[in-house]
Amino acid sequence: MTTSSPNIVLIMADQLAPQFTSTYGHPVVKTPNLDALAQRGFRFDNAYCNSPLCAPSRFSFMSGQLVTRIAAYDNAAEFPASIPTFAHYLRMMGYRTCLSGKMHFVGPDQLHGFEERVTTDIYPSDYAWTPDWELSDERIDKWYHNMDSVREAGVAATTFQIDYDEETAFFAKRKIFDYARERSGPFCMVASFIHPHDPYVARRDWWDLYDHDKIDMPANVLGHNEQDPFSRRLMDGIEASAMDISEDQIRNARHAYYANTSYFDSKVGELVATIEEAGMLDNTIIMVTADHGDMLGERGLWYKMNFFEHSSRVPLVMAGPGITHGTAPNACSLVDILPTMMDIAATGGRAKPELGQPIDGRSLLPLASGNTDKADEAIGEYCAEMTTHPVFMIRRGPHKYIHCDPDPAMLFDLSKDPDETVNLAADPAYADVVQAFAAEVKDRWDSGKIREDVIRTQKQRRAVHAAMEAGLLTPWDYNPPRDASQEYVRNHMDWTVAAAKTRFPPLENN
């Protein structure tokens, strides 16, 4: 099957740090399917999320806009239906669009431009997870991370996350075959999985891929008193400062995370194999990325919610027609996916529609096509739990600058210090660099105004949520439409016609 514009299949992991893949050089973790895509495609070595938390990162990724522009502050921030996404733009360019799996949409719009959504989501779509910056020291125990995921890491036959990812893969593969059978033009499929997100529990077959004694331990562990102020708040928020975690528990958690990374990688392989079986591999661009990373014990921190490398960097690999084989050191981020997708769709001569809103990203297709690109920048914003003020990150060239109003600034030279062990913000040799970044932060963001808006929206959402919990509940959670009377073979159908219609490849005389 061929079309004038390539199909796009984007496969997304949840909480996958590129450092914990063989594709990006980890000596223990096994990701052969991602390796294979990188070996025939293009690997971005400094790709970042724009907010190191699930929902804000995904809203930014879909809209091509930074989170403060669209008030995508936290995991209970509403994603307004009026914000255009890459799914909207691709539909205007003649693409079929489908989502299978997680996107953590919050609000009554659970499609955001996708024509079809073939699964429900794994997380709630209401305002229940709203933080409170006016009571920032109080934990919301029902949903805040804590260290139980580390203490309880291990093996199980199944979990709700395994159930979900099996469903996500099944429906994504079936839809790809539907597109092949229908021959209806180019499509964009997003298959979004929950693994290797905690809890760190893996099936035995994936656990047994690894020798437990060879699981590497965190390289740079800081105690509570050695941490910067923001990291101390994170440790307190996830209860890492109050719980004693043994080396065995840390090794178990990392073992399970590695196992679940290989499990996610197997789903990448399944989808690539399906695309090939459907006869569309030569006309499909495949992208693999994640919404954010996982500290996994590095620096004494776990999960995400910070701008250190293991939390804020994401894998980004592209392969397919027109994509060269290579790597790029340029800093980039998930807001760049929207313009990249539009450029891919335009390669077949399709006109790009006018943007409904300004976007913050740039197209990565020139780099992935083998051309040079001087752009080397990623911008990050964090406005969720375990802080009282917005946190900003600028990654440009070798430098990463992190600012939060009540905290000392942080500057790292990643070319000399990739593990971020030395904060250079007070180093006289970097005074000019620090001054320039500080001035840029002041010019780019009004931190006080953003803080006021975050608190205002938190109050609004808590009031609405309290009302929605009183009386009759009308949930926003997505319920995929399904009509069993039209599936498989029914009495109003000719079964021979149904058999021929669903068979792929079709018989030659059909």
The mean of the pLDDT values for the chain is 95
- The β-bridge partners of 44 are 328
Distance, CA of 305 to CA of 394 (rounded, Å): 16
What span, in angstroms and rounded, lies between the C-alpha atoms of 198 and 161?
9
The stretch 24-43 carries a mean pLDDT of: 98
Residue 501 has pLDDT above 90, yes or no: no
pLDDT value of position 199: 95
Helix (H) or strand (E) holding 295: none
DSSP single-letter state for residue 360:
S
Judge whether residue 136 has pLDDT over 80.
no
Q: DSSP labels for 70-134?
A: HT--STT----TTS--HHHHHHHTT-EEEEEE-----SS---TT-SEE-S--SS--SSTT---GG
Confidence of residue 242 (pLDDT cuts 50, 70, 90): confident
Which one-letter amino acid corresponds to residue 168?
T
Cβ atoms 42, 325 nearer than 8 A: yes
Helices (H) and strands (E) in the chain, counts: 15, 15
Secondary structure letter of residue 215 according to DSSP? P
φ, ψ of residue 454 in degrees (nearest 5): -60, -50
Task: Give residue 22's pLDDT band: very low, low, confident or very high (50, 70, 90).
Answer: very high
Q: What is the pLDDT of residue 243?
A: 84
Instruction: Judge if the upstream peptide bond of residue 418 is cis by omega within 30 degrees of 0.
Output: no
Residue 2, pLDDT score: 38
Predicted local distance difference test score (pLDDT) of residue 3: 46
**Six-digit token pair at 452?**
């006021």
Q: Judge whether 49 counts as a catalytic residue.
A: no
Residue 1 confidence (pLDDT) above 60 = no
Residue type, 461: R
CA distance 173 to 162: 17
Average pLDDT for residues 268-285, to the nearest whole number? 97
- Residue 20 has phi, psi (to 5 degrees) of -105, 45
pLDDT surpassing 70 at residue 227: yes
Q: Residue range 96-116: average pLDDT?
A: 97
Which pLDDT does position 139 carry in this prediction?
67
Q: Answer yes or no: is pLDDT of 430 > 90.
A: yes
With a cut of 50, say whether residue 145 has pLDDT above it. yes
Cα–Cα–Cα angle for 58, 62, 67, nearest 5°? 60
Mean pLDDT to the nearest integer, 422-444: 97
Q: DSSP assignment, residue 326?
A: E
Bridge partners, 116 (sequence order)? 98
Of 49, 88, 98, 104, the catalytic one is 104
CB 212 within 8 A of CB 187: no
Q: Which domains does the chain have, with CATH numbers?
A: 7-351+472-502 (3.40.720.10)
* pLDDT for residue 144 is more than 90: no
Q: Is the pLDDT of residue 91 over 90?
A: yes
Amino acid 241: pLDDT:
85
Tell me whether residue 383 is one of the annotated catalytic residues: no
Nearest Cα neighbor of 406 from 380, 422, 386 is 386
pLDDT at 510 over 80: no
| CA distances (Å), origin 66, targets 62, 99, 256, 505 | 10, 22, 32, 43
Q: How confident is the model at residue 188 (pLDDT cuts 50, 70, 90)?
A: very high
Closest CA to 219 of 171, 191, 249, 254: 254
pLDDT band at 240 (very low <50, low <70, confident <90, very high): confident
Assigned token pair, 192: 């979004």
Catalytic-labelled residue, pool 54, 188, 332, 383: 54
